[in-house]
Amino acid sequence: MAATPSVMLPLGTEAPNFSLPDTVSGKIMSFDEVKGDKGTLVMFICNHCPYVKHVNEELVHLAKDYMSRGIGFVAISANDVERYPDDAPDRMKETALKLGYPFPYLYDESQETARAYQAACTPDFFLFDNAKKLVYRGQLDDSRPGNGIPVTGKDLRRAMDWLLEGKTVPEAEQKPSIGCSIKWKPENQDLGLFD
Protein backbone atom coordinates (compact mmCIF):
# COMPACT_ATOMS: atom_id res chain seq x y z
CA MET A 1 0.00 0.00 0.00
CA ALA A 2 2.41 2.68 -1.26
CA ALA A 3 1.31 6.15 -0.22
CA THR A 4 1.19 8.75 -3.01
CA PRO A 5 0.50 12.46 -2.26
CA SER A 6 -1.58 14.93 -4.27
CA VAL A 7 0.24 16.99 -6.89
CA MET A 8 -1.53 20.13 -5.56
CA LEU A 9 -2.82 21.74 -8.76
CA PRO A 10 -2.37 25.55 -8.59
CA LEU A 11 -5.22 27.41 -6.88
CA GLY A 12 -7.28 29.45 -9.32
CA THR A 13 -7.00 26.77 -12.03
CA GLU A 14 -10.22 26.57 -14.05
CA ALA A 15 -12.00 23.22 -13.76
CA PRO A 16 -11.18 21.06 -16.79
CA ASN A 17 -14.37 19.94 -18.49
CA PHE A 18 -15.14 16.26 -19.01
CA SER A 19 -17.69 14.08 -20.72
CA LEU A 20 -17.79 10.75 -18.94
CA PRO A 21 -20.31 7.93 -18.40
CA ASP A 22 -22.02 7.60 -15.03
CA THR A 23 -21.73 3.93 -14.12
CA VAL A 24 -25.11 3.91 -12.36
CA SER A 25 -27.41 5.75 -14.79
CA GLY A 26 -25.41 5.15 -17.98
CA LYS A 27 -25.73 8.87 -18.83
CA ILE A 28 -22.78 10.84 -20.19
CA MET A 29 -22.12 13.70 -17.77
CA SER A 30 -20.08 16.91 -18.03
CA PHE A 31 -18.73 19.27 -15.38
CA ASP A 32 -21.60 21.67 -16.05
CA GLU A 33 -24.14 18.92 -15.40
CA VAL A 34 -22.72 18.05 -11.98
CA LYS A 35 -21.75 21.52 -10.76
CA GLY A 36 -23.52 23.18 -7.87
CA ASP A 37 -24.79 26.76 -7.59
CA LYS A 38 -22.16 27.61 -4.94
CA GLY A 39 -19.32 25.28 -5.89
CA THR A 40 -18.32 21.80 -7.00
CA LEU A 41 -16.25 19.01 -5.47
CA VAL A 42 -14.52 16.65 -7.90
CA MET A 43 -13.25 13.48 -6.20
CA PHE A 44 -10.93 10.91 -7.76
CA ILE A 45 -11.64 7.61 -6.04
CA CYS A 46 -11.82 3.91 -6.92
CA ASN A 47 -13.23 0.69 -5.51
CA HIS A 48 -10.22 -1.31 -4.39
CA CYS A 49 -8.07 1.33 -2.64
CA PRO A 50 -7.90 0.92 1.17
CA TYR A 51 -7.57 4.70 1.57
CA VAL A 52 -10.90 5.20 -0.24
CA LYS A 53 -12.59 2.35 1.63
CA HIS A 54 -11.46 4.06 4.85
CA VAL A 55 -13.34 7.29 3.99
CA ASN A 56 -16.28 6.06 1.89
CA GLU A 57 -18.85 6.47 4.65
CA GLU A 58 -17.72 10.05 5.29
CA LEU A 59 -17.91 10.87 1.56
CA VAL A 60 -21.60 9.94 1.66
CA HIS A 61 -22.18 12.04 4.82
CA LEU A 62 -20.27 14.95 3.30
CA ALA A 63 -22.32 14.90 0.12
CA LYS A 64 -25.59 14.67 2.03
CA ASP A 65 -24.55 17.59 4.25
CA TYR A 66 -23.36 19.93 1.48
CA MET A 67 -25.30 19.08 -1.71
CA SER A 68 -28.39 20.66 -0.14
CA ARG A 69 -26.32 23.81 0.48
CA GLY A 70 -25.38 24.28 -3.17
CA ILE A 71 -22.19 22.24 -3.56
CA GLY A 72 -22.19 19.79 -6.48
CA PHE A 73 -20.40 16.46 -6.01
CA VAL A 74 -18.96 14.02 -8.52
CA ALA A 75 -16.66 11.00 -8.13
CA ILE A 76 -14.43 9.76 -10.94
CA SER A 77 -12.45 6.53 -11.23
CA ALA A 78 -9.64 6.45 -13.78
CA ASN A 79 -7.81 3.25 -12.86
CA ASP A 80 -6.57 0.78 -15.46
CA VAL A 81 -9.21 -1.95 -15.19
CA GLU A 82 -7.09 -4.43 -17.14
CA ARG A 83 -4.76 -4.61 -14.14
CA TYR A 84 -7.37 -3.73 -11.49
CA PRO A 85 -10.64 -5.46 -12.47
CA ASP A 86 -12.28 -4.52 -9.14
CA ASP A 87 -12.39 -0.96 -10.51
CA ALA A 88 -14.29 -1.87 -13.69
CA PRO A 89 -17.54 0.04 -14.43
CA ASP A 90 -19.87 -2.81 -13.42
CA ARG A 91 -18.09 -3.05 -10.06
CA MET A 92 -18.22 0.74 -9.72
CA LYS A 93 -21.99 0.58 -10.14
CA GLU A 94 -22.24 -2.16 -7.49
CA THR A 95 -20.17 -0.06 -5.06
CA ALA A 96 -22.18 3.11 -5.69
CA LEU A 97 -25.47 1.30 -5.08
CA LYS A 98 -24.23 -0.65 -2.05
CA LEU A 99 -22.80 2.45 -0.34
CA GLY A 100 -25.63 4.74 -1.44
CA TYR A 101 -23.47 7.31 -3.22
CA PRO A 102 -25.69 10.39 -3.63
CA PHE A 103 -23.36 11.66 -6.38
CA PRO A 104 -22.54 10.34 -9.88
CA TYR A 105 -19.64 7.86 -10.10
CA LEU A 106 -18.04 8.39 -13.48
CA TYR A 107 -15.59 6.19 -15.38
CA ASP A 108 -12.58 7.87 -17.03
CA GLU A 109 -11.53 5.05 -19.35
CA SER A 110 -9.04 7.14 -21.38
CA GLN A 111 -7.58 8.67 -18.18
CA GLU A 112 -7.64 12.06 -19.94
CA THR A 113 -9.75 13.65 -17.19
CA ALA A 114 -7.42 12.42 -14.43
CA ARG A 115 -4.49 13.81 -16.39
CA ALA A 116 -6.24 17.16 -16.92
CA TYR A 117 -6.83 17.46 -13.14
CA GLN A 118 -3.31 16.17 -12.38
CA ALA A 119 -4.95 13.63 -10.09
CA ALA A 120 -2.24 11.53 -8.47
CA CYS A 121 -3.92 9.38 -5.83
CA THR A 122 -7.17 7.95 -4.57
CA PRO A 123 -8.77 9.78 -2.91
CA ASP A 124 -7.80 13.15 -4.44
CA PHE A 125 -10.14 16.13 -3.90
CA PHE A 126 -10.63 19.32 -5.94
CA LEU A 127 -13.06 22.03 -4.76
CA PHE A 128 -14.10 24.72 -7.23
CA ASP A 129 -16.11 27.90 -6.66
CA ASN A 130 -19.16 28.90 -8.69
CA ALA A 131 -16.86 30.47 -11.32
CA LYS A 132 -15.15 27.06 -11.76
CA LYS A 133 -11.92 28.29 -10.11
CA LEU A 134 -9.99 25.92 -7.84
CA VAL A 135 -10.17 27.06 -4.22
CA TYR A 136 -9.06 23.90 -2.37
CA ARG A 137 -7.19 20.74 -3.20
CA GLY A 138 -5.84 18.20 -0.81
CA GLN A 139 -6.93 15.93 1.98
CA LEU A 140 -10.29 15.07 3.50
CA ASP A 141 -8.73 15.07 6.99
CA ASP A 142 -5.72 13.61 8.85
CA SER A 143 -7.17 10.10 9.15
CA ARG A 144 -5.47 7.26 7.27
CA PRO A 145 -5.98 3.49 7.49
CA GLY A 146 -4.45 2.29 10.73
CA ASN A 147 -3.41 5.68 12.21
CA GLY A 148 -6.21 5.73 14.81
CA ILE A 149 -7.41 9.24 13.90
CA PRO A 150 -11.21 9.36 13.43
CA VAL A 151 -12.57 10.13 9.94
CA THR A 152 -14.35 13.49 10.26
CA GLY A 153 -13.76 15.20 6.91
CA LYS A 154 -12.72 18.29 8.86
CA ASP A 155 -10.29 19.78 6.30
CA LEU A 156 -12.70 19.49 3.41
CA ARG A 157 -15.71 20.52 5.53
CA ARG A 158 -13.85 23.65 6.67
CA ALA A 159 -12.94 24.48 3.06
CA MET A 160 -16.56 24.11 1.93
CA ASP A 161 -17.78 26.19 4.87
CA TRP A 162 -15.35 28.97 3.95
CA LEU A 163 -16.45 28.79 0.32
CA LEU A 164 -20.12 29.03 1.33
CA GLU A 165 -19.31 32.01 3.59
CA GLY A 166 -17.54 33.79 0.74
CA LYS A 167 -14.12 33.48 2.38
CA THR A 168 -10.83 32.47 0.79
CA VAL A 169 -9.54 29.05 1.80
CA PRO A 170 -5.97 29.81 3.00
CA GLU A 171 -3.33 27.91 1.04
CA ALA A 172 -1.48 27.26 4.31
CA GLU A 173 -4.50 25.22 5.46
CA GLN A 174 -4.28 22.88 2.46
CA LYS A 175 -2.39 19.61 2.96
CA PRO A 176 -1.91 17.03 0.20
CA SER A 177 -4.21 14.04 0.18
CA ILE A 178 -2.45 10.70 0.54
CA GLY A 179 -3.61 7.49 -1.07
CA CYS A 180 -2.90 4.75 -3.57
CA SER A 181 -1.50 6.03 -6.85
CA ILE A 182 -3.84 6.27 -9.81
CA LYS A 183 -3.30 3.04 -11.73
CA TRP A 184 -2.16 4.44 -15.05
CA LYS A 185 -2.31 2.47 -18.25
CA PRO A 186 1.14 1.64 -19.64
CA GLU A 187 0.75 4.23 -22.42
CA ASN A 188 0.07 6.98 -19.85
CA GLN A 189 2.90 6.20 -17.41
CA ASP A 190 5.51 8.32 -19.21
CA LEU A 191 3.69 11.63 -18.74
CA GLY A 192 5.49 12.82 -15.62
CA LEU A 193 3.01 12.52 -12.75
CA PHE A 194 2.68 8.85 -12.65
CA ASP A 195 3.69 5.44 -11.26
Question: In order along the chain (195 residues), what is the average pLDDT of each group of 10 residues?
Answer: 84 98 97 97 96 96 97 97 94 97 97 96 97 97 94 97 96 93 84 46
Tell me whether residue 194 is exposed, middle or buried, using C-beta atoms within 10 angstroms of its C-beta: 0 to 12, 13 to 18, 19 or more: middle
In 60-152, which ranges are E strands? 71-77, 105-107, 121-122, 124-129, 134-138
Adjacent-strand bridge partners of 22: 106
> Using one digit for the tens of pLDDT, what is the confidence trace for 8-23?
999 999 999 999 999 9
Q: What's the pLDDT score for residue 193?
A: 47
Query: What pTM value is reported for the model?
Result: 0.95
Distance CA 178, CA 175 (A): 9
Q: What's the pLDDT score for residue 124?
A: 97
Highest CATH level, class, for 4-188: alpha beta
